[in-house]
């Protein structure tokens, strides 16, 4: 087991280094960093001096090593457009994005799994067919259209829920702000998290349905029926439990894309998160923010992947055995 974890750790570090390389290449070669710092009238000597003081004349490998070293200390440089440290800008907006992503993931799981189980057990009922049709539409509709639709129905026409912002937030500790503790904060979370979670929800529903149909055909389910166990015990105790391994994988892998897709949802709902910041950076060619965001997503992805691998061993005892044998 330990060897397995170490191998995965080495792989993860490899991925992170590769992404850091891309981020550094962007940082260094797209747009001259010197131009972003000095004024237009600066003389050639001044430029050369700044170039030297920034270490831009050092060999490429040295510069890359320095970049990685700084990134490890969470120093990503100064944003071109805001003239503030990138770390501070991202840190301020991170709680909003993480809370949104968390609620979306919970929504996707809590709604998606029961829908998947239902459509698998009552395959021919009209409700199951409706769920299937909805899931197809959910896969085909772009995220921003779903958001616009929800805003039009629930915010503009019915006026039930707010259409933008986080509502009132409460400050916890040094830098974390939460919308979980106020009514307006919770209400503001509803529409964005449905928008963001809908795609993952349909994905999970389809997955659970397919897995359930597969498992229900197996011998040990037939045996459980023959033993006279109740339907409930068979369906939920035996069948559902065995569909959870792929569900954990997909949910884990999707968490990364939830955070990335938050860019779109945050734009639609004017949610003050990292996605909006990243989008502004793309529009204004603010390379330090783009590079840092790229690294952040890669880091989250790697961490989530590791966690999923570890969870596997907990959920599926067979894996523990094979890993030990290997």
Partner 1 sequence: MPYVTQEEAKASPPTVATPAPGWFARVMDHDLMASFLASRVTVLAALVTLALAVLALFAPLIAPYNPFDPAEVFLIDSLNPPRWLPAGDARFLLGTDDQGRDLFSAILYGLRVSLIIGVLGVLMAAAIGITLGLVAGYVGGRVDAVIMRIADVQLTFPAILIALLVDGVVHALLKGASREDTAFGVLVFSIGLSFWVQYARTIRGSTLVEKNKDYIQAARLVGLPPIVIMARHVLPNVIGPVLVILTINLGLAVITEATLSFLGVGLPPTQPSLGTLIRIGNDYLFSGEWWIVAFPGLTLAALVLAVNLLGDWLRDALNPKLR
Which residue ranges make up the site for partner 1 (CB under 8 A)? 15, 18-19, 26, 30-31, 136-137, 139-145, 148-149, 151-152, 156, 163, 256-257, 260-261, 263-264, 267-268, 278-279, 281-283, 285, 287, 290, 294, 297-298, 301-302
Quote the least distance from Cβ 235 to partner 1, whole Å.
26
Helices (H), 30-125: 33-37, 44-53, 60-72, 86-121
What are the CA-CA distances from residue 171 to residues 89, 124, 162, 226, 269 (Å)?
Answer: 16, 50, 21, 57, 21
278/292 Cα distance (integer angstroms): 9
- Report in angstroms how near the CB of residue 118 gets to partner 1 at its nearest: 22
- Find the shortest distance in angstroms from Cβ 243 to partner 1: 21
- Cβ of 98: how many Cβ atoms within 10 Å? 17
What is the closest distance, in whole angstroms, from the C-beta atom of residue 210 to partner 1 in the complex? 13
Three-class DSSP category at 142 = coil
Helix (H) or strand (E) holding 172: strand 170-172
Nearest approach, Cβ of residue 142 and partner 1 (Å):
5
CB of 18 or CB of 74, closer to partner 1:
18
Q: How many residues does the chain have?
A: 326
Give the residue with the Cβ less far from partner 1, 249 or 267. 267
- Residue in this structure with the two tokens 């805001």, named with its chain if needed: 82
User: In this complex, which beta carbon is closest to partner 1, that of residue 31 or of residue 165?
Assistant: 31
- Minimal distance in Å, beta carbon 14 to partner 1? 8
- C-beta of 121: minimal distance to partner 1 in Å? 23
Q: How far is CA 53 from CA 25, 46, 49, in A?
A: 19, 10, 6
DSSP 141-161: S-HHHHHHHHIIIIIIIS--S
Nearer of residues 108 and 234 to partner 1, judged by Cβ? 108
Per-residue CA distances from 277 to 96, 191, 196 (Å): 12, 20, 17
Which lies closer to partner 1 via its Cβ, residue 169 or residue 207?
Answer: 207
**Residue closer to partner 1 (CB basis): 1 or 133:** 133
Evaluate whether 178 touches 99 at the Cβ level (below 8 Å).
yes
- What sign results for the dihedral spanned by CA atoms 148, 153, 158, 160? negative
Which residue, 240 or 250, has its beta carbon nearer to partner 1? 250
- Of 148 and 190, CB closest to partner 1: 148
First to last CA, the chain: 9
CB of 273 to partner 1, least distance (A): 14
């Amino acid at each position: 087991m330990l060897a397995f974890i170490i191998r995965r750790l080495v792989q993860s570090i490899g991925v992170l280094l590769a992404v850091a390389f891309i981020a550094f290449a962007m940082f260094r070669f797209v747009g001259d960093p010197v131009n972003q710092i000095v004024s237009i009238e600066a003389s050639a000597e001044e430029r050369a001096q700044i170039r030297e003081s920034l270490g831009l004349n050092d060999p490429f490998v040295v510069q890359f090593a320095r970049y990685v070293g700084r990134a490890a200390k969470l120093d990503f440089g100064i944003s071109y457009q805001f003239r503030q440290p990138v770390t501070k800008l991202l840190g301020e907006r991170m709680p909003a994005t993480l809370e949104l992503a968390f609620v979306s993931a919970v929504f996707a799981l809590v709604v998606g799994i029961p829908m998947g189980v239902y459509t698998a057990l009552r395959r021919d009922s009209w409700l199951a067919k409706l769920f299937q049709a909805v899931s197809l539409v959910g896969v085909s509709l772009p995220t921003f259209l779903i958001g616009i639709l929800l805003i039009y129905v629930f915010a503009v026409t019915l006026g039930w829920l707010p259409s933008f912002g986080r509502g009132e937030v409460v400050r916890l500790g040094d830098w974390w702000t939460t919308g979980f503790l106020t009514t307006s904060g919770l209400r503001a979370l509803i529409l964005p998290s449905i928008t963001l979670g809908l795609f993952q929800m349909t994905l999970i529903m389809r997955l659970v349905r397919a897995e359930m149909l597969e498992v229900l055909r197996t011998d040990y389910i037939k045996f459980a029926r023959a033993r006279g166990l109740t339907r409930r015990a068979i369906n939920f105790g035996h069948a559902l439990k065995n569909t959870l391994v792929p569900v954990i994988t997909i949910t884990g892998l999707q968490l990364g894309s939830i955070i990335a897709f938050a860019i779109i949802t945050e734009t639609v709902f004017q949610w003050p998160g990292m996605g909006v910041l990243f989008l502004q950076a793309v529009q204004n060619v603010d390379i330090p923010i783009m590079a840092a965001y790229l690294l952040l997503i890669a880091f989250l992805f790697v961490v989530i992947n590791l966690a999923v691998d570890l969870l596997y061993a907990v959920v599926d005892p067979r894996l523990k055995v094979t890993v030990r044998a290997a």
